[in-house]
Amino acid sequence: MYIKQLYTGCLSEAAYYIESKGEAAVIDPLRDIDHYIDLAAERKANIKYIFETHFHADFVSGHIDLSKATGAPIVYGPGTETKFPVHIAKDGEIFKIGDLTIEVRHTPGHTLESSCYLLKDEQGKDHCVFTGDTLFAGDVGRPDLAQKSDEITTEDLAGMMYESLQKKIMPLGDDVIVYPAHGPGSSCGKNLGPNTFSTIGEEKEYNYALRAANKTDFIKAVTDGIPPPPQYFPINAKINKEGYDSIDDIVITGMRPIPVPEFKKMILDDSIIVLDTRRADEFTKGFVPGSISIGLDGRFAEWAGSLLSFEAPMLLITDAGKEKESIIRLARVGLDKVQGFLEGGYEAWRKSGEPSDMIIDIEADELMMDIPFDPQLKVLDVRKPAEFAEGHLRGALNLPLNDMTDPASMANFEDDQNLYVHCAGGYRSVIAASMLKRQGIHNIRNILGGWGKIKEQEKAEIVKEANVLN
């Protein structure tokens, strides 16, 4: 028996490769499928099945391309409806991988078709369960993402999840390993723990949701305080249900080098998004005017999916050699319209004498010195409301980065205001500053180190709120 968790940190996503006697299965693959094909080839195995735990909302799955490449059928749980061929498994249906057995356990709640896969070892003993978004380490899946109607509410789905967990998961032995689809940082749960796997016994003891005394308490526990999902979630769920173009074709289209003169002409079209994937500290020193910064070094795909249009054509500015990686990571969340990249990167633009823009970086202690002497100074905190409530500077304005997709959210800033922008550590604030610049707001300072450095300042007037007010 061979099991490998293939974890992608920037999406907090876990896919799984299972193998026995030269037969393999892949669970919840990402769209870039070479990892799975290469692993199977390296181990001289054939991929026999592709199992999907549900229609994912936070990434585009590789199920279709992997099936075409290997001939393996795509398996979904009961109630699944798609526009491409799949095997819709029955609850309790058994699949064989070499000497291993995989049992389907239909667990509606996160979505209606959500299913877990129980793996039994060569002796028929329960070894692990692949729980998708039904059960995480320290959390359960949010019940507000499935397509609902007037007849099915978030509370109804939470009730279904309670029944699924009680009947299909909790009866498993305490030593059974829990392999979820996501780890810390994922928006598919409310507050996932720090681990990417667990055991049934550990979850019974430490998972807040599993400690609920009854269904009513469970529903309240998992529905209270759920933050809004990222805006791209319903788009990705639809793509996974209806199908998509081959990632190979998307890479071929996107890997077109565009010389500076042609690039300059193309970006005169305001509908084109210019995305700069360099590190934030490189972007602030100089960038093509109007470009948006989302660095590959952070939660790149998640923020790209949350902030960028899925319909607009896109041009890239990257570090040398990072063009293909940028295209693939965008495609993971369904952003498929990359038309090419700036040949030679930003350095080619700068050396050609074309105009550049920049963002001024300042240290947190400089902010403290400026506050008493600048009546036009406004601190703009782009963290989430819950982060803001836990502590912020007195007088700061909270405009979460997620909300900056609407230009109206930036319409109330005055021309004479000096905006000092920060997030928790500096990644999101540069994205926000680039979006403000794109809207014509230029009196901006980016606070290096964000809230982490600000709260260390002796002169910082920190306010905490008991509740988050919308």
Q: Which domains does the chain have, with CATH numbers?
A: 2-234 (3.60.15.10), 245-351 (3.40.250.10), 360-463 (3.40.250.10)
Query: How many Cβ atoms are within 10 Å of 220's Cβ, its own excluded?
Result: 12
Q: Is 275 within 8 Å of 314 (Cβ atoms)?
A: yes
Q: Specify whether the backbone of 42 is left (phi greater than 0), alpha (psi in -120 to 50) or beta.
A: alpha
Residue 468: the pLDDT is 44
For 233-278, how does the pLDDT look when each residue is reduced to its tens digit (9 = 90+)? 999 999 999 999 999 999 999 999 999 999 999 999 999 999 999 9
**C-alpha pair distances (Å), 123 with each of 1, 96, 110:** 11, 13, 32
If residue 127 lies in a helix (H) or strand (E), which one and from where to where?
strand 126-132
CA 285 – CA 26 distance, rounded (Å)? 43
Q: Please list the helix, strand and coil fractions of the chain in percent, rounded to the nearest 5, in that order.
A: 30, 25, 45
3-class secondary structure, 209: coil
Q: Give φ, ψ of 340 to 5 degrees.
A: 155, -175
Residues 6+ apart with CB under 8 A from 194: 137, 138, 183, 184
Residue from 206, 204, 228 nearest 154 by CA: 228
Q: Note the maximum CA span of the chain.
A: 74
User: Would you state the structure tokens that stand for residue 30, as one six-digit string?
Assistant: 């990402």
- 404, HSE (Cβ side, Cα atoms, 13 Å): 28
**What pairing do the DSSP bridges indicate for beta strands 360-362 and 462-463?**
unpaired
Residues 6+ apart with CB under 8 A from 250: 327, 331, 336, 338
pLDDT at 232: 94
pLDDT of residue 410: 78
Question: Residue 398: in which H helix or E strand, if any?
Answer: strand 397-398
- Which residue reads 């796997």 in tokens? 197
Round to whole Å and give the CA distance between 442 and 450.
19
Rounded Cα gap, residues 290 and 264, in angstroms: 12
Q: Give me the pLDDT at residue 191, please.
A: 83
| Of 424, 425, 421, nearest in space to 434 by CA | 421
Measured at the CA of 360, the angle between CA 357 and CA 366, to 5 degrees, comes to: 170
Per the rule left: phi > 0, alpha: psi between -120 and 50, beta: everything else, 142 is beta
Of 408, 421, 417, which is closest to residue 450 (Cα–Cα)?
A: 421
Residues lower than pLDDT 70 in the chain: 147-150, 466-470
Q: Give the Cα separation of 14 and 240 in Å (integer).
A: 17
**pTM for the full model?**
0.92
CB 378 within 8 A of CB 397: yes
